[in-house]
Amino acid sequence: MDHFNYVDGVLHAEDVPLTRIAAEVGTPVYVYSTATLTRHFQQFQQALAWTDHLVCFAVKSNSNLAVLKLLGNLGAGMDIVSAGEYARAKAAGVPGDRIVFSGVGKTEPEMRMALEGGIRQFNVESEPELELLSRVASSMGVSAPIAVRVNPDVDAKTHEKIATGKSENKFGIPIARARDVYARAASLPGIEVVGIDMHIGSQLTDLEPYRQAYAKMAELTRALRADGHDIRRLDMGGGLGIPYTRDNNAPPLPIEYGQVIRDAVGDLGCEIEIEPGRNISGNAGILLSSVIYLKEGEGRDFLILDAAMNDLIRPAMYSAHHDIVPVAEAAPGVAVAPYDVVGPVCETGDTFEKGVQLPGLSAGDLVALRSAGAYGAVMASEYNSRPLVPEVLVNGDQFAVIRPRPTLEEMLGRDTIPEWL
């Protein structure tokens, strides 16, 4: 459930008509709902209420400071993968002991930054990373809390570009090597083993891969404890999918996912961490756009929007579907027609979807691309020199611009021309 509904024939974000945001901020613009973000975060809190836990929001899915602040205020931890994300989490007021550092390519400066500013744990993804972290932490006279990310070699049954838990993926350490790596970790100065980490992929719509992976995690926990390691935290990763359409095929709910975790590892007495991103932010956002032209083609009509692939790359990159709906609700019985909904960028791939059934729309009309709160604005670029799309946060009947649209001067002002030109 989200908080984007039609009221009096106009699509609203909570109590704010999207027409108002378009008039005041312009389009294209991302619009997020506070109530939806809150609700989705609380669902995970409830799903893990049976144990000590920390829900670490995957910052990569939506890293706007206002969104992080909102979730941080509710008690969220943060799952981060770069110095930039670490800085964002801290700037949003999240304390270091609620920040988990993931990612296959942590650099020495990033390790230093996290150790200086405070960190809950590093999810270590390789032996060279472990060795470097040991050197960095020792040189600073501190100890780095770590979990090793273990690759359980299960098929997450998701899009190949976002599956991470198969042995052919670059992520984690093969589970067969885990005991050796933990033994090495325990022998290294500046390293404190605190737990195990797994993340098998994103947009999972079936709980079975989780069951398989978490069974392996339980087994590994027992084996590592028998080896003498103090495994007290289990990071179960993120990845629970969301509905991208309004049919009845909704993925499992957080509460069902929480039960899978409980069944697999509930008897181990570990603190549980999870790293959901999309499930919290995805359906909490839409991309609001205006029709620039209706272009009649041969055998098909194109709806040319002012939003493009640089603003929302998911359809071009993963053939992802986002529901596209008119902001002015179609009256019942009004005829619909198929449109190819495209952006203005000079690439054929700049197509949001072909054959979308929409009521007759014309230039200036507003449409919303739903489920765009995760991996939307964060993946935007300035391709075709289109300034980064702005972001708005709605709360009840009020809204705030949480990232303004850059002016052309600001965009150009970042480049410099050497004096010899």
Q: How far is CA 54 from CA 48, 138, 173, 264, 321, in A?
A: 9, 28, 23, 18, 31
* H or E segment to which residue 219 belongs: helix 208-226
- Residue 359 beta carbon to ligand LLP: minimum distance, rounded to whole angstroms: 29
d(CA 372, CA 43): 20
Phi-psi domain of 237 (left: phi exceeds 0; alpha: psi -120 through 50; beta: other): left
Instruction: For residue 365, count other CB atoms closer than 10 A to its CB.
Output: 17
- Total Cβ atoms within 10 A of residue 14: 20
275 assigned binding-site residue: yes
Q: Is 276 annotated to bind ligand?
A: yes
40 vs 46: CA distance, rounded Å: 10
Q: Rule CB under 6 A: which residues touch ligand LLP?
A: 58, 61, 79, 102, 162, 199, 202-203, 237-239, 275-279, 314, 318, 374-375
Residue 67 near residue 89, CB atoms below 8 Å: no
Instruction: Confirm whether 346 is a catalytic residue.
Output: yes
Of the candidates 101, 285, 286, the one whose C-alpha atom is nearest the C-alpha of residue 197 is: 101
SS3 95: coil
Cα distance between residue 96 and residue 280, in whole Å = 21
- Own/partner contacts of 336-342, CB < 8 Å, gap of 24 or more, are 337/301, 338/300, 338/301, 339/300, 339/301, 339/302, 339/303, 340/297, 340/300, 340/301, 340/302, 340/303, 341/302, 341/303, 341/305, 341/367, 342/302, 342/303, 342/304, 342/305
* Integer Cα distance of 271 and 232 in angstroms: 6
Of residues 334, 335, 346, 421, which has the active-site annotation? Answer: 346
User: With contact defined as beta carbons under 8 Å apart, do 51 and 15 qualify?
Assistant: no
Cβ at position 156, least distance to ligand LLP in Å: 10
Q: Considering the complex, state which of residue 102 and residue 221 has its C-beta at the smaller distance from ligand LLP.
A: 102
243 backbone dihedrals φ, ψ, rounded to 5°:
-75, 125
Tokens of 48: 């893990």
Going from the C-alpha of 303 to that of each of 294, 298, 323, 341, 384, the distances in angstroms are 5, 14, 15, 5, 19
**Cβ–Cβ < 8 Å for 76, 57:** yes
Prior bond of 189 cis (ω within 30°): no
Tokens of 94: 């999240």
Nearest residue (beta carbon) to ligand LLP = 277
Catalytic site positions: 346
